[in-house]
Chain A
Amino acid sequence: MLAYLAAEGGETTEHNPIIPAWEEIVVGTVAFALLCFVLMKFVFPMMEKTFAARVDAIEGGLKRAEAAQAEANELLEQYRAQLSEARTEAARIRDEARADAEGIRQDVLAKAREESDRIIAAGRDQLAAQRESIVRELRTEVGTLAVDLASRIVGESLADEARSRGTVDRFISDLGAGTGTGRR
């Protein structure tokens, strides 16, 4: 009842909900301006910064990973190139060594052949020379022996040196001709 009366009394200051109270507009303006100032100055720019930093961190991480990957690939390529280079080098060295060995072998072989040829030739020469000297000795010895034998058999002294020599020579050359055809 009392409340009803109070409300009745309040009828004198009837409120219209469509008409704003200017005091409330002032309060609202100040309060909202304060809110805007603090949030837009201190909070949201920091959030933007954090977002940017986060994007940067993620993208930076990706970029770093990519760079590392690229570096690793490059190194791998380099190692591969070095390896193949080393392989060809080794093959080349092997080939060279083989060629060298072959050369040396040929050298040695040639030298040995030459040496042997030389020795053979020397032996042949020596043989020829000995044969020559033996033949010469034999010729004189055979002459003397034949003359001795003939003088003994015939019993006559062959005083004429020149005549006897001519006979012996003729005999020997006949002999040589006879054996020569037989040897060849």
Chain B
Amino acid sequence: MIGQSTVLAAEFPPSVEDFYLPSILPWGAHDSYWFTKITLLIWVSVAVIIIFFLVSYRKPQLVPTKKQWLAESLYGFVRNNIAVEMIGPRGVAFAPYLTTLFCFILLNNFFSIVPLIQISPNSHIAFPALLAVISYVMFIYVGVRHHGGLFKYLKAALIPPAPWFILPLLIPIEFFSNFMVRPFSLAVRLFANMFAGHMLLLVFTLGGFAMVSANVWFTPFSIVSWIMTIALTFLEFLVIVLQAYVFTVLTASYVQGALADEH
């Protein structure tokens, strides 16, 4: 009973500490982050994606095999429906990065509903923040290069075609929304979704256990609670795909904004 409780981190209500499992190496340490379940999952996701693409695209053929078709349609989806759709013909150059980003987020999010894994590395803000910083740096770099200088890019990005007397109000707003909020909103949106999703599943799963152990007569409520867990898992699947898509689309949209000549 005690063993089972520790495995399930049986503390109700669940807290932030449930997201910080003891590290794997050194075994059981609480303050070591180098090799935990989370970082292991990151490596696994990288390995899985690389192996999938390399294996399915080892010998590309004009008439694709099933695996090749799957890999191609993943790339083709991001390339045509995100990169080209948002950025235009120049978006093809960004399609490889956007596809990598999409696959990485999608698989890492997906870990949150895989049985026995059931936590997503993206519920630790370090990874969404890292990806958001890359997107941030990328769109600013693209903008600077496209407009031929930091000052010219800032001028294009910050000064909208508006009457001069309203500019003192508009420029700070534009700066705030374009250069301060964007990376935070990107990072926090993904992180919070995965964090909340995991928290929800924990609440309903552990809540069921808590009710059963409090009183045997609460068993029907526990069962309802666990059914809710299953339903929420489906909802979570929707969130997983949607958040991966949103992150990629927003990155593409920022790049598009940086490449735009007119405001």
Instruction: Tell whether B159 is near chain A: CB-to-CB under 8 Å.
Output: no
Is the beta-carbon distance between B96 and A35 smaller than 8 angstroms? no
Query: Once bound together, how far apart are the Cα atoms of A36 and B53, in whole Å?
Result: 12
Cβ of A178 < 8 Å from any Cβ of B?
A: no
A27 — which chain B residues lie within 8 A by C-beta? 33-34, 39, 42-43
A43 within 8 A of B: yes
Q: Does A57 contact B (CB under 8 A)?
A: yes
A contacts with B, residue count (CB < 8 A): 44
| Residues of chain B with a CB closer than 8 A to A21's CB | 33, 124, 126
B19 to A17, Cβ gap below 8 A? yes
B38 within 8 A of A: yes
- Given the interface pairs A28-B42, A57-B62, the reply to whether A18 lies near B125 with Cβ below 8 Å is yes
B33 touches A31 (CB 8 A): no
- Chain A residues near B9: list those with CB within 8 A: 3
Identity of the chain A residue whose Cβ is nearest the Cβ of B53 in the assembled complex: A43
A25 touching B129, Cβ below 8 Å = yes
Q: Give the tally of cross-chain contacts (CB within 8 A).
A: 127
Q: A32-B104, A40-B96, A45-B96 are in contact. Are A25 and B11 (CB under 8 A)?
A: no
Chain B residues with CB under 8 Å of A31's CB are 42-43, 45-46
8 Å CB contact of A44 from B49, B99, B125, B126: B99
Q: Mark B11-51, 1 if CB is under 8 A from A, else 0.
A: 10000110110000000001111100011001101100110
Given A3-B10, A36-B100, check contact A50 B129 (CB 8 Å): no
A44 touches B95 (CB 8 A): yes
Q: Does B34 contact A23, Cβ atoms closer than 8 Å?
A: yes
CB–CB A35/B100 < 8 A: yes
Q: Chain B's nearest CB lies how many Å from the CB of A158?
A: 142
Does B5 sit at the interface, judged by CB under 8 A?
A: yes
Task: Please give me the residue from chain B that is nearest to A27 by CB atom.
Answer: B39
- Interface band, chain B: 35 or more
State whether A40 touches B124 (Cβ < 8 A). Answer: no
Residue from A3, A36, A45, A46 having most chain B Cβ neighbours under 10 A:
A3
Quick check: B30 and A13 within 8 Å, CB to CB? yes
| A53 is an interface residue with CB less than 8 A from chain B | yes
Inter-subunit contact A35/B49 (CB<8 Å): yes
Given A10-B17, A20-B129, A31-B46, A50 and B62 touching (CB < 8 A)? yes
Given A15-B16, A43-B53: A20 touches B60 (CB 8 Å cut-off): no
Interface mask (B214-229 → A, CB under 8 Å = 1, otherwise 0):
0000000000000000
Contacting pair A17 B195 (CB below 8 A): yes
A175: interface (CB < 8 Å): no
**Cβ distance A68 to chain B, nearest Cβ, rounded Å:** 21
Measured CB to CB, the nearest residue on chain B to A50 is: B60
Is residue B242 within 8 Å, beta carbon to beta carbon, of the partner chain? Answer: no
Task: Using known A-B contacts A20-B125, A50-B60, determine if residue A15 contacts B95 with beta carbons closer than 8 Å.
Answer: no
Cβ contacts under 8 Å, B231 to chain A = none
Besides A39-B96, A46-B57, A53-B62, 13 other CB < 8 A contacts? A2-B6, A3-B11, A10-B17, A20-B126, A27-B39, A27-B42, A28-B42, A28-B127, A28-B130, A34-B50, A35-B49, A39-B99, A47-B57
Sorted nearest first, the 10 A-B pairs with minimum C-beta distance are: A20-B126, A24-B126, A23-B33, A44-B96, A40-B96, A43-B53, A21-B33, A50-B60, A27-B39, A35-B46
Provide 19 A-B residue pairs closer than 8 Å at the C-beta atoms, listed in order of the A residue: A6-B6, A15-B19, A17-B125, A20-B125, A23-B32, A24-B38, A28-B127, A28-B130, A32-B134, A35-B50, A36-B100, A39-B96, A40-B96, A43-B57, A44-B75, A44-B99, A45-B96, A46-B60, A47-B57
Please give the residue numbers on chain B whose beta carbons come within 8 Å of chain A beta carbons, in ascending order.
Answer: 2, 5-6, 9-11, 16-17, 19-20, 30-34, 38-39, 42-43, 45-46, 49-50, 53-54, 57, 60-62, 64, 71-72, 75-76, 92, 95-97, 99-100, 103-104, 121, 124-127, 129-131, 134, 191, 195
Name A's B-contacting residues (CB within 8 A).
1-4, 6-7, 10, 13-25, 27-29, 31-32, 34-36, 38-40, 42-51, 53-54, 57
